[in-house]
Structure 1
Amino acid sequence: MCDAVTGQKDGKKMLETLERSNLFVVSLDDNRQWYRYHHLFAGVLLSRLMAEKAERILTLHLRASKWYEQNGLMADAIRHALTAEDFEWAADLIELVWPETNRYIQSAPWLGWVKASPDELVSVRPVLNINYACALMDIGEMETGEARLLQVEELLETTEKISETPEASNRMVIVDKEQFRLLPATIASSRAYLAGTLGDVAGTIKYTRQHIDLLPEDDHYGREGASAMLGIAYFAKGDLEAAYQTFMDSFEGMKKAGDIDDVGGTFLLADIRITQGRLVEAASLYEQSLKLIPEQGPVPSGTAYLYLGLSKLYREQGNPIAARAYLLKSEEANKKSPYQLWQYRFILAQAQIEEDQENFDSALDLLNKAEALYYRNIVPEIRPLAALKVQIWIKQGKLNKALNWIHVSSLTFDDDLSYPQEYEHLTLARVLIAQFKSEQTEPYILNALELLERLLKAAEVGKRGGSVIEILILQALAYEAKENIPLALVPLERALNLAEPEGYVRIFVDEGVPMAQLLSVAIANKIMPEYIDKLLAVFEAEKQQQST
């Protein structure tokens, strides 16, 4: 590179001489290929260059950029091209590196490069601009991303209309011919992603199928990735089994093509099984993947999410020590690739543990911290952060805050039901029960019971076992609030029967004193004594821990 930048041929010899003479040059590798100046000396040289030959600086940066590009060091090539203010050359390089950037989810630095480029260059490059749209949507900037998408669609439409005229060829700049050939498929994929983030399930499915139809038969990575988006659409509909099978087929296809490891995707599959109330199967999925993580060296992608999922599973099954251990493992695994959405979910898990210990203010502080990290993405947020806060407010007795949430969210007990809003409606039922206990006004509890009955039917149809158990527990608590203990024991017994084989603990313990009292009555009525003994032991242990 020294020779390329200086235009001379003695760079290697000069560097070796400088190193032997200990003149501020340090070798960075055993092969003596890379060197660096002492940072203070480098600063002196740069100052001298700027003072004596400032007009040459841009030329030198451009030479460095060309050398880096020829040697496959594209990030450095782009950085120097931008510094050289050769924006057309930089735009060429930025366009060419997108496929690799997108494949390994490294869009943050790429976005920095394209944002540093003049917009008049970007807007006439349909490939670069559509990739810009995708990168923006990846970080939740949906409106800005859609505006870019519209620019590309309009450019293609306009160019097609005037394609018979000589000036048509001057309207677009295309560097990556292969990406341009796939542009219709990329537009369909972008439309599917946009629809998914907006909760438009039908649109997601429509555009994803268009995407698949437009891809070449041998593009296994693209086709399987598109199938995964279909899985997300099924998940948003609440058709969890279809989502699971679609994800499974997609991941198997990617693995055969060598595009994903055996760890990647496990957390999604396990999360679906947990939502279905199948904790044992989720644990099995996690255990299989754990065997594939090396004790030393780099870990597979998705490992941080895998550990995070295990932490949540162990927490639910009443093993707080393992839950904390895997939370720490997740944090360690994510240090080298700090995904913002992982950070969001990690903080939610921390908040949950604080809530378990009745550190409600700390839990709320963490939820506020998580809120600053969240951005819209293709995966539906089934447990919205606002609803998580409301459930803590109920435990704190801050009913006014919870009622204000109902007002702002415009939820009602007779709403049409959908899976993405299921958790919010469950939270609404909790608020109605708390309101009844506070005011003893009959309509509140009747509305809660009516809402819970409809939610139960929807969850049963969708085979969402985890939701079924939670709804049955809330029905029991609603009847307990009415002091109708015989009726409360009916849904409680059913919930216990469903929960015991899967090892549920926290789903009962989180309900506090009213649940502990109901369980005591249940055990007196010889309802599942061994399982209830285990649950009551956890209640007692937490009571003693809090008293100390």
Structure 2
Amino acid sequence: MEMVYTAQNVFLATKMQAPRQRSLYVQRPALYVQLQRALEGDLTLISAPAGSGKTALLAHWLSKSVYPFAWLSLEPEDDEPARFLSYFIAALQARYPQIGVSSQALLLQSPQSVRFEHVMAVLSNEITVSNLPHFIMVCDDYHLITSEAIHTAMYFLLEHLPPQMHLIFATRSDPPFPLTRLRAQGRLTELRMADLRLKKADIQTFLEQVTERELDTDILETIEERTEGWVAGVQFAALSLRNHPLPQTFLHSFHGNHRFILDYLSEEVFVRQTPAVQTFLLSTSLLERLTAPLCNELTGQANGQEILEALEKANLFVMPLDDARQWYRYHQLFAEFLQARLRQSDPEQFIVLHRRASRWYEQQGLLLEALQHAASARDSEVLVALLETYGSQCILEQDLSQKVLDWLQLLPERFYREHIHLCVLKAMAFIYSRRPTEAPPWLQRADSLVILDNDTHRLVRGRLAACYALVHLANGEIEQCADSAHRAIALLSEDEGLLYVHVMQCALHAYLATGDVTQETERLAVTALRASRTSNNHVLYLLSLTNLARIQILRGRLHQARATYHEAEHLLSLYPEQPVPPGKAEYAIGTGHILREWNELAEAEAFLQTGLEIQNNTPLLNVELMSHGHMILSRLYQAKGAYEQARGAIESLNLLLERQQFAPYLYARAAAAQADLALMNKDLATAVSWAETEKSEIQPFLSEQALLIRIRILIEQMRQSEETAQAEELHSLLQRMQEDAEAKARQASVLEIIILRALILDLMGRTSEAGIIIEQAVKLAEPEGYIRIFADKGEAVEALLARIQLDYPRRQAYVQQLRAACRPHEKADTQAVPPTLQNSRRTFVQTLVEPLSERELEVLQLIATGASNYEIAQQLIIAVATVKRHVTNIITKLNVNNRTQAVAEARKYGLVE
């Protein structure tokens, strides 16, 4: 029995070998020529009904071809993206071991979150840059694939096919590819039923070989007419004719469509076998693949290999799958006939045989096959035992959540009353199938079965709490999500793998519930980061980094947050072969957030779109992150004047929210975003209509942005109507909001509130106070390079900025840049206006022989504040030795002798204050 083992998978080698050639076969020279010519294109599609000879044709042609080839025989279980791609790459490696190393690694690390097009991109690159000769890749029985993700990945490969590679699909139905376009481009060759039909001469040759006698012309014509050249039909006729004493009599009963012919001929073949062979055929008919040890397990005999070889010699619908004759398979239609007969004659034995097959596959480590046989037998006891042991592994490591749901659906109700693990497993399967609304009833059932003081229930209680956290995360219920996550962490260990990582992700969102990002909150985030850094869990490390960066954004420290995201980016670069891990979407959206604020709109757009795409394709739904990303993207499009695209971003958010009942603040946030869009598009009436229905006072942090949008709309309404009766009330509200934001260290919120206060004071005629307030905002914003927080409020803020005169030249240049960004219909090109701190830095740095890195600039800023190496290391969360290295580099690049001279030189060019 030949198998291929990797670190995490067991592959059946026979799936990756072309079937052995049969001795009785009609040569098809015309088809061989067509197949040879097809190699000039990209894809050969052999699409025809079952029994048309597709596999045999390819096997014989390839045996004569000068081109090397890789082969993959597909099964129903391969209709899972990660499993399919693993086997696809393994089949290539069976021919070329050096190919597919990086792409296979992507799948091994995190199959449930991988982007399959990315896997194909890596694979295509590996082949393209290799020195491989022209070769052929065959996917046999591709009709068994229904997964949209697999079709998308395969078409991606086809569109980016390496020049050395040619694809061949043998299938009963066309794949969902744009075949018309491929034909027009000359990239597709097709062989269909009409091409594969046996001609009269072919039928005569074949029948006379099998029957070992000459047949009359009328017999040959009748068989040709009734079979229409269908290869399987001709084979069935030949097998019956071989031992039939009166061929003419046989023809009288040879009629009907091919299904009836198959049933009739299968009966004729089956009943002519000895009782021992009949028993063997029935007992092994439920197997997709046959090998002697497995057959012996099912039959209770020891002569499996002997019978298999005898069946092969008798051409009894048994095909060898390898040259060593260790693995075989039945013709699919013949196997189906045998299975139907077994169910009818001995239904209890059918269950017993599936149970034996399941046990054998489990012993071989082939868990999917073990579960499938248990499910096929409707053997609830065995299925429950396997699911309780391996079910979570199937969901978390193999992305088989829907398959697990199918298996669980087979179980009688009583098992859920007796097995708490099944209730949790079903909830988990719903969650990872992106159907979180269907999970709570099963979690509640598990709750009712939990025994709190039972140590054996510790793990299930941990998984139960984890599932609750994930449901809350999907619903945007951040506070409940964090509470459940903390309970789960206390009960689970890192051995839970991806589930533990996802629970940590939930726990890290706790601060979002209150908006409290004080030093204590940041200290806890830094502690979590250090712990994850010293562990071997780089995914948890990535999540900790992105969590800390978001806290830093809320605290108003954009440069520090960008540096933290740089560290996350570096971590991702260390694992280029990894699939998309949890945390990458947060990294991309968070980076886009900062870049949009800095008015670097093109780069920000790319990050935001990438982050939303990643999150949309992950098994778990984080609706808060999706909402956050869509809001930022909408504001980015507003800044570009692309109002239709801005509206589209909000419409996408609304479509997401229509799917289920989410937390109320998410709907309020979406409605506020639409009102904000109307305000930016000068549709004040629509914006005011929304604002007048949004009457709430200070709200939780998650709804803060909606309240600030309402205040902006009311300010604009007062500006245009010159009616300021509400101004004092709104200003008082903003003061209370500022007190809350300051108490919780949300400097970004403080900055936005101060700007709105300045606008209201100006409306009230308190221009001197408004000037002081807006100057305070500029001083607060300039070190971090804020732009859009001013510019999004348009001409009213520009008018305020025009009144202030700052003595510090660089800060005055910053004000000019803000004014330019505030003006409508102007491209806020940062290169066309006086440079900010950031642009001054870039201009000077670019003149150096060896430019300062972003991290070195951050160290330089802290040196200027008088921070010691240890204090810098603590703030940037790096080692003291790393700080010393950065300081040495700074002194060398600035061509100075010490830290003091470095600060002085930097101040000359506005790098530090």
Deviations 1:174-197 (A, max 9, x none): xxx998442233344455666776
Equivalent residue, structure 2, for 1:268: 547
For residues 429 and 524 of structure 2, what CA distance do their matches in structure 1 show?
A: 25
Go from structure 1 to structure 2 and tell me whether the alpha carbon gap of 1:298 and 1:446 turns closer, same or farther (over 3 Å shift). same
Equivalent residue, structure 1, for 2:817: 534
**Bigger shift: 263-272 or 456-465?**
263-272
The one-letter amino acid paired with 1:297 is: E
For residues 798 and 15 of structure 2, what CA distance do their matches in structure 1 show?
A: 77
SS at structure 2 position matched to 1:244: helix
Deviations 1:220-241 (A, max 9, x none): 9988876665543333122224
Equivalent residue, structure 2, for 1:171: none
Deviations 1:446-484 (A, max 9, x none): 222121111111000000011011111111222344454
Equivalent residue, structure 2, for 1:148: 442
Could you tell me which of 103, 110, 128 is aligned with 2:422?
128
Could you tell me which of 84, 96, 110 is aligned with 2:389?
96
Go from structure 1 to structure 2 and tell me whether the alpha carbon gap of 1:340 and 1:226 turns closer, same or farther (over 3 Å shift). closer
TM-score, length-scaled by structure 1: 0.77
Deviations 1:51-75 (A, max 9, x none): 5643559878777765654444445
Go from structure 1 to structure 2 and tell me whether the alpha carbon gap of 1:338 and 1:244 turns closer, same or farther (over 3 Å shift). same
Q: After TM superposition, list the pairs within 5 Å mapping 1:488-507 onto structure 2.
A: 488-507=770-789
RMSD of the alignment, in Å?
4.7
Equivalent residue, structure 2, for 1:54: 340
Does the Cα contact within 8 Å between 1:293 and 1:300 map onto a contact in 2?
A: no
**Residue 17 (1) aligns with residue 20 (2):** yes
Does the Cα contact within 8 Å between 2:508 and 2:544 map onto a contact in 1?
A: no
Does the Cα contact within 8 Å between 2:795 and 2:823 map onto a contact in 1?
A: no
**Residue 361 (1) aligns with residue 644 (2):** yes
Deviations 1:13-60 (A, max 9, x none): 996524998725672325489996444777585445445643559878
For residues 506 and 524 of structure 2, what CA distance do their matches in structure 1 show?
A: 9
Does the Cα contact within 8 Å between 1:224 and 1:253 map onto a contact in 2?
A: no
**Bigger shift: 276-285 or 382-391?**
382-391
Does the Cα contact within 8 Å between 2:402 and 2:433 map onto a contact in 1?
A: no
Equivalent residue, structure 2, for 1:293: 572
Go from structure 1 to structure 2 and tell me whether the alpha carbon gap of 1:110 and 1:13 turns closer, same or farther (over 3 Å shift). closer
SS at structure 1 position matched to 2:745: coil
TM-score, length-scaled by structure 2: 0.49
Does the Cα contact within 8 Å between 2:355 and 2:382 map onto a contact in 1?
A: no
For residues 483 and 19 of structure 1, what CA distance do their matches in structure 2 show?
A: 96
Could you tell me which of 534, 537, 548 is aligned with 1:259?
537
For residues 367 and 523 of structure 1, what CA distance do their matches in structure 2 show?
A: 39
Equivalent residue, structure 2, for 1:323: 604
Does the Cα contact within 8 Å between 1:94 and 1:110 map onto a contact in 2?
A: no
Deviations 1:182-220 (A, max 9, x none): 22333444556667768584x667655654554579989
Go from structure 1 to structure 2 and tell me whether the alpha carbon gap of 1:89 and 1:521 turns closer, same or farther (over 3 Å shift). farther
For residues 403 and 105 of structure 1, what CA distance do their matches in structure 2 show?
A: 51
**Bigger shift: 228-237 or 262-271?**
228-237
Equivalent residue, structure 2, for 1:393: 678
Equivalent residue, structure 2, for 1:185: 462
Go from structure 1 to structure 2 and tell me whether the alpha carbon gap of 1:14 and 1:107 turns closer, same or farther (over 3 Å shift). closer
Does the Cα contact within 8 Å between 1:221 and 1:254 map onto a contact in 2?
A: no
In the TM superposition, residue 284 of structure 1 has moved relative to its aligned partner by: 0.8
**Bigger shift: 178-187 or 389-398?**
178-187
Larger C-alpha radius of gyration, 1 or 2? 2
**Residue 473 (1) aligns with residue 755 (2):** yes
For residues 365 and 308 of structure 1, what CA distance do their matches in structure 2 show?
A: 18
For residues 264 and 469 of structure 1, what CA distance do their matches in structure 2 show?
A: 27
**Residue 423 (1) aligns with residue 705 (2):** yes
Go from structure 1 to structure 2 and tell me whether the alpha carbon gap of 1:485 and 1:251 turns closer, same or farther (over 3 Å shift). same
SS at structure 1 position matched to 2:826: helix
SS at structure 2 position matched to 1:501: helix
For residues 577 and 483 of structure 2, what CA distance do their matches in structure 1 show?
A: 42
**Bigger shift: 215-224 or 236-245?**
215-224
Deviations 1:365-399 (A, max 9, x none): 22111222356789x96992222222112223444
**Residue 352 (1) aligns with residue 645 (2):** no
Go from structure 1 to structure 2 and tell me whether the alpha carbon gap of 1:449 and 1:146 turns closer, same or farther (over 3 Å shift). same
Equivalent residue, structure 2, for 1:463: 745
SS at structure 1 position matched to 2:439: helix
Does the Cα contact within 8 Å between 1:91 and 1:114 map onto a contact in 2?
A: no
The one-letter amino acid paired with 1:317 is: W
Q: After TM superposition, list the pairs within 5 Å mapping 1:442-461 onto structure 2.
A: 442-461=724-743
For residues 610 and 568 of structure 2, what CA distance do their matches in structure 1 show?
A: 15
For residues 444 and 520 of structure 1, what CA distance do their matches in structure 2 show?
A: 26
Equivalent residue, structure 1, for 2:557: 278
The one-letter amino acid paired with 1:306 is: Y
Go from structure 1 to structure 2 and tell me whether the alpha carbon gap of 1:238 and 1:326 turns closer, same or farther (over 3 Å shift). closer
In the TM superposition, residue 344 of structure 1 has moved relative to its aligned partner by: 5.8
In the TM superposition, residue 490 of structure 1 has moved relative to its aligned partner by: 2.2
For residues 216 and 101 of structure 1, what CA distance do their matches in structure 2 show?
A: 19
**Bigger shift: 337-346 or 113-122?**
337-346
For residues 501 and 621 of structure 2, what CA distance do their matches in structure 1 show?
A: 24
SS at structure 1 position matched to 2:20: helix
For residues 338 and 199 of structure 1, what CA distance do their matches in structure 2 show?
A: 18
Deviations 1:336-379 (A, max 9, x none): 8576547666544443322112222331222111222356789x
Does the Cα contact within 8 Å between 1:101 and 1:107 map onto a contact in 2?
A: yes
Does the Cα contact within 8 Å between 2:482 and 2:508 map onto a contact in 1?
A: no
For residues 404 and 562 of structure 2, what CA distance do their matches in structure 1 show?
A: 38
The one-letter amino acid paired with 2:791 is: V
Does the Cα contact within 8 Å between 1:293 and 1:299 map onto a contact in 2?
A: no
Go from structure 1 to structure 2 and tell me whether the alpha carbon gap of 1:200 and 1:515 turns closer, same or farther (over 3 Å shift). closer
For residues 16 and 672 of structure 2, what CA distance do their matches in structure 1 show?
A: 67
For residues 155 and 42 of structure 1, what CA distance do their matches in structure 2 show?
A: 48
Does the Cα contact within 8 Å between 2:488 and 2:503 map onto a contact in 1?
A: yes
Does the Cα contact within 8 Å between 2:359 and 2:370 map onto a contact in 1?
A: yes
Equivalent residue, structure 2, for 1:167: none
For residues 668 and 385 of structure 2, what CA distance do their matches in structure 1 show?
A: 42
Identity %: 21
Does the Cα contact within 8 Å between 1:208 and 1:226 map onto a contact in 2?
A: yes
In the TM superposition, residue 426 of structure 1 has moved relative to its aligned partner by: 1.3
**Bigger shift: 354-363 or 295-304?**
295-304
Does the Cα contact within 8 Å between 2:401 and 2:430 map onto a contact in 1?
A: no
Equivalent residue, structure 2, for 1:164: none
SS at structure 1 position matched to 2:599: coil
Does the Cα contact within 8 Å between 1:254 and 1:260 map onto a contact in 2?
A: yes
**Bigger shift: 463-472 or 511-520?**
511-520
SS at structure 1 position matched to 2:804: helix
Could you tell me which of 237, 250, 260 is aligned with 2:528?
250
